[in-house]
């Protein structure tokens, strides 16, 4: 079932099918006219970042081209898509702040269109157009594939189009995808969530869990590897619940082993697992599969068993800490990160002290800490004892200070270690000034590394290459490896297929409107966009090649 506003007249029926397969560019422009440009702005998590890759892929298949870097910075595109999040209280503020700014840009740019998709669009529906009548298209989490058609319909009818499906129409991974990185990629193994956490609106917006078949997942990973990727991250709302739809409780561990065995793939990650479903077969698969990285991001949410019960989180603090103990027993160097909510309704000082106790015991390398947000539509929004803002803020500051100390201590323990870093296009704001390059170690720690002074230009590591260096300095949220400045022999570059693929992409040159990244905000990040599109639909391979 979907809600569409307004009704489509009969003379627009031809637009419903979207651009013709043999001439996709007709969907975005008239014959002979310049291609229309687009920009996708992402607010939210990794799932949203990956959804934005699908949106970009569909737009490019329909004949749009990505806005140039300068146009993207100025928000001067013909189509701007905002992919929204609804998890935090300020999600609506972020959306309407963006829309308010874009109202002037649209007045100054005849023909410009604004589309809003994602979780907040699924939640607020036509209310978005009511508050911001200059929005042209609203679409939800269940019908990403409708974006190009809705844009064309809105242009034809000269009025807003709102279409929200009540259940998943097309599995997102079957859609065209403009990969933001040639050397690393996201792969969704499931969508939706079967849990009933009282603070979370995601199940309402994303629906029940739907699992992809293993052969489809392996085929997509193989296709990414064939295009040059050396790292993949498996995505799911509760990624380790994979298999629930087809009745195999051991499916996720089996999938980890199968993905990790694909030839040419060097790094496998996954996010985010649920502690209640975290089983020992997954720990064994992590430890026994060399390409699965020594890194785990698992949300704690609270260290208080009483609060966990009120949250409907079906584990307790001892179970959580037990999982970490078993992971570290077989992967001693694993870096473990988490999510924590401060100020859940009814949280007492004693409850908060339990959270501090568990954080101290867990020794997280880092944590995403959040102040509780009262989200209409969630059971927790109606609970008594909503805490005063000042109390929540004070606890948040104490928790952040504790985690900063632990993160710094854990990173200091890395000084002197040799680490292998997968070089990124850029993850550091000061890299240009310091002449460092940046990437991620195997345990996903951020590393800024210096290059030897006498390194020839053709010997510099490229994004996608792997560099082994010695860590020389630590900070709470990153490591510095300047060993090459005093000992060039400590610096070792391994040029990879991924680096070759990045170089080929750069050598191909930017197309007229290429080169701008999909803008991101929130906890998800994306690498800068390719110079030309990397479009990947669902592969038809049934299993990885050996």
| Separation between Cα atoms, residue 73 and residue 521, nearest integer Å | 14
Specify which residues 366 forms β-bridges with: 337
CB neighbourhood size of 196 (10 A): 13
Partners of residue 90 on adjacent β-strands: none
Q: Which residues are annotated as a binding site?
A: 45, 85, 119, 193, 197, 200
Q: φ, ψ for residue 171 (rounded to 5)? A: -65, 125
Distance of CA 39 to the CA centre of its chain: 17
**Binding-site annotation, residues for [4Fe-4S] cluster:** 45, 85, 119, 193, 197, 200
Asked if residues 131 and 96 have their Cβ atoms less than 8 Å apart, the reply is yes
From the CA atom positions of the chain, what is the Rg in Å? 23
Tell me 400's DSSP state: H
| Phi, psi for 532 (deg, rounded to 5) | -130, 165
Which strand (E) or helix (H) includes residue 515? Answer: none
d(CA 116, CA 10): 25
Strands (E) located in 343-417: 366-371
CB 113 within 8 A of CB 99: no
Neighbours of 174 (CB within 10 A): 14
> Which 3-state string (H, E, C) describes 14-63?
HHHHCCCHHHHHHHCCCCCCCCCEEEEEEECCHHHHHHHHHHHHHHHHCC
Helix/strand/coil for 165: strand
Q: Distance between CA atoms of 118 and 138, rounded to whole angstroms?
A: 9
| Sheet strands (E) in 155-230 | 161-165, 184-188, 190-191, 210-211
Q: Which residues, at least 6 apart from 64, have a Cβ–Cβ distance to it below 8 Å?
A: 28, 35, 36, 37, 38, 78, 79
Name residues whose C-beta falls within 8 Å of residue 226's C-beta, 6 or more positions apart in sequence: none
CB-based contact 312:195 (threshold 8 Å): yes
423 within 8 A of 462, measured Cβ to Cβ: yes
Q: Which residues on adjacent β-strands are paired with residue 5?
A: 162
Residues pairing with 520 in the sheet: 42
Q: Locate the DSSP E strands across 327-408.
A: 335-342, 366-371
As to burial, measured by CB atoms within 10 angstroms (0-12 exposed, 13-18 middle, 19+ buried), residue 376 is exposed
Give the phi and the psi of residue 378 in degrees, each rounded to 5. Answer: -105, 150
**What DSSP element (H or E) covers 128?**
helix 127-131
| Alpha helices (runs of H) in 62-111, residue ranges in sequence order | 69-73, 91-108
């Amino acid at each position: 079932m979907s809600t569409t506003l307004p009704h489509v007249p009969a003379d627009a029926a031809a637009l419903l099918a979207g651009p013709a397969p043999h001439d996709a560019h007709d969907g975005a422009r008239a014959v002979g006219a310049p291609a229309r440009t687009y920009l996708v702005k992402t607010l939210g998590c990794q799932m949203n970042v990956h959804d934005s890759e699908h949106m970009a892929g569909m737009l490019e298949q329909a004949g749009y081209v990505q806005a140039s870097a300068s146009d993207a910075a100025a928000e001067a595109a013909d189509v701007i898509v905002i992919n929204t999040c609804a998890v935090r209280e300020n999600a609506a503020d972020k959306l309407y702040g963006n829309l308010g700014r874009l109202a002037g840009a649209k007045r100054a740019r005849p023909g410009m269109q604004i589309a809003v998709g994602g979780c907040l669009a699924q939640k607020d529906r036509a209310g978005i157009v009511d508050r911001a009548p200059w929005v042209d298209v609203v679409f939800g989490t269940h019908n990403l594939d409708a974006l190009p058609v809705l844009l064309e319909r809105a242009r034809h009818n000269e009025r807003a189009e709102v279409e929200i499906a009540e259940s998943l129409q097309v599995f997102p991974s079957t859609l065209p995808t403009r990969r933001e990185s040639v050397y690393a990629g996201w792969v969704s193994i499931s969508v939706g969530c079967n849990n009933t956490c009282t603070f979370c609106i995601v199940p309402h917006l994303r629906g029940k869990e739907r699992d992809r078949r293993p052969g489809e997942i392996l085929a997509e990973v193989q296709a990414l590897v064939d295009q040059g990727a050396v790292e993949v991250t498996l995505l799911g709302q509760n990624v380790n619940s994979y298999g629930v739809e087809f009745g195999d409780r051991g499916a996720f561990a089996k999938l980890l082993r199968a993905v990790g065995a694909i030839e040419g793939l060097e790094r496998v990650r996954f996010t985010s697992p649920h502690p209640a479903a975290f089983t020992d077969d997954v720990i064994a698969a992590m430890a026994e599969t060399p390409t699965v990285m020594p890194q785990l991001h698992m949300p704690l949410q609270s260290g208080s068993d009483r609060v966990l019960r009120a949250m409907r989180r079906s584990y307790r603090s001892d179970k959580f800490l037990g999982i970490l103990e078993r992971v570290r027993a077989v992967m001693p160097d694993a870096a473990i990160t988490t999510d924590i909510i401060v100020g859940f309704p009814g949280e007492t000082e004693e409850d908060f002290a339990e959270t501090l106790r568990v954080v101290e015991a867990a020794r997280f390398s880092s944590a995403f800490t959040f102040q509780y947000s009262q989200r209409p539509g969630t059971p927790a929004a109606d609970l008594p004892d909503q805490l005063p803002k000042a109390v929540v803020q004070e606890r948040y500051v104490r928790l952040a200070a504790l985690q900063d100390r632990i993160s710094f201590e854990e990173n200091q323990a890395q000084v002197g270690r040799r680490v292998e870093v997968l070089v990124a296009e850029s993850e550091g704001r000061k890299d240009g000034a310091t002449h460092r390059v940046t990437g991620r170690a195997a345990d996903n720690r951020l590393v800024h590394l210096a290059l030897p002074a006498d390194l020839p230009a053709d010997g510099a590591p490229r994004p996608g290459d792997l560099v082994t260096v010695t860590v020389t300095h630590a900070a709470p949220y990153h490591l510095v490896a300047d060993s090459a400045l005093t000992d060039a022999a400590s610096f070792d570059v391994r040029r990879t297929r991924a680096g070759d693929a990045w170089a080929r992409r750069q050598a191909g040159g930017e197309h007229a409107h290429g080169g701008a990244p999909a803008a991101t905000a929130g906890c998800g990040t994306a690498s800068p966009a390719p110079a030309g599109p990397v479009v990947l639909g669902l592969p038809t391979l049934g299993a990885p090649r050996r």
